[in-house]
């Protein structure tokens, strides 16, 4: 059995716990990506409840989501499974399949696609960073703290902590 560095264990625990402050909207600032995420969170919160107020809340959240989707140019379905702490610095062109799963504290740059392949959709672990223009296609698992380089095309699993680049993606820095 290998011993683990205590700093590595703390980093892993941090990555797995959603950092909700990463999604917090700042007062009186233009931040379309955070507003888009907030509309998704609002819809999902109201979808878990019943009654006329929850129904009204869902309808308003859908309208907000449509507005911010147009403003950002992102195609993120309102019922996508997204853990806390998602950051979209430049949300233009982000496309996510409704069945994709995004882990806590992930970072997705512009033009990222999480798409359907023959056998399913991607699942992202905790603390995954995906560079601009990257495409993740099919039933793949991207491990915790992995990094996907810009414009990479990922068609197979990525181990935790690894860095992948290229078309098709290959590991350049193992965990």
What is the Cα–Cα distance from 105 to 14, expressed in whole angstroms? Answer: 9
Q: Give the tens place of pLDDT for each residue, 134-167.
A: 999 999 999 999 999 999 999 999 999 999 999 9
Q: How does pLDDT run across 94-114, given as a tens digit for each residue?
A: 999 999 999 999 999 999 999
Domain made up of 77-175: CATH architecture? 3 Solenoid (2.160)
Sorted by where each begins, the domain ranges of the chain are 30-72, 77-175
Q: Is the overall model pTM greater than 0.75, yes or no?
A: yes
Tell me the residue ranges of DSSP E strands in 21-148.
81-82, 95-96, 101-102, 107-108, 113-115, 123-124, 129-130, 135-137, 141-142, 147-148
């Amino acid at each position: 059995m290998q011993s683990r560095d205590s700093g590595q264990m703390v980093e892993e625990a941090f990555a797995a716990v959603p950092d909700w402050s990463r999604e917090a909207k700042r007062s009186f600032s233009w931040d379309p990506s955070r507003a888009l995420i907030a509309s998704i969170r609002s819809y999902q919160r109201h979808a878990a409840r019943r009654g006329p107020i929850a129904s009204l809340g869902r309808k308003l959240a859908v309208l907000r989501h449509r507005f911010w989707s147009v403003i950002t140019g992102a195609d993120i379905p309102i019922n996508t499974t997204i853990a806390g702490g998602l950051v979209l610095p430049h949300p233009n062109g982000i496309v996510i399949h409704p069945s994709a799963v995004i882990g806590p504290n992930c970072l997705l740059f512009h033009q990222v696609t999480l798409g359907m392949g023959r056998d399913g959709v991607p699942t992202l672990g905790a603390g995954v960073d995906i560079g601009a223009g990257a495409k993740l296609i099919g039933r793949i698992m991207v491990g915790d703290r992995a990094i996907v380089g810009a414009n990479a095309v990922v068609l197979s699993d990525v181990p935790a902590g690894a860095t992948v680049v290229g078309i098709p993606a290959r590991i350049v820095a193992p965990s």
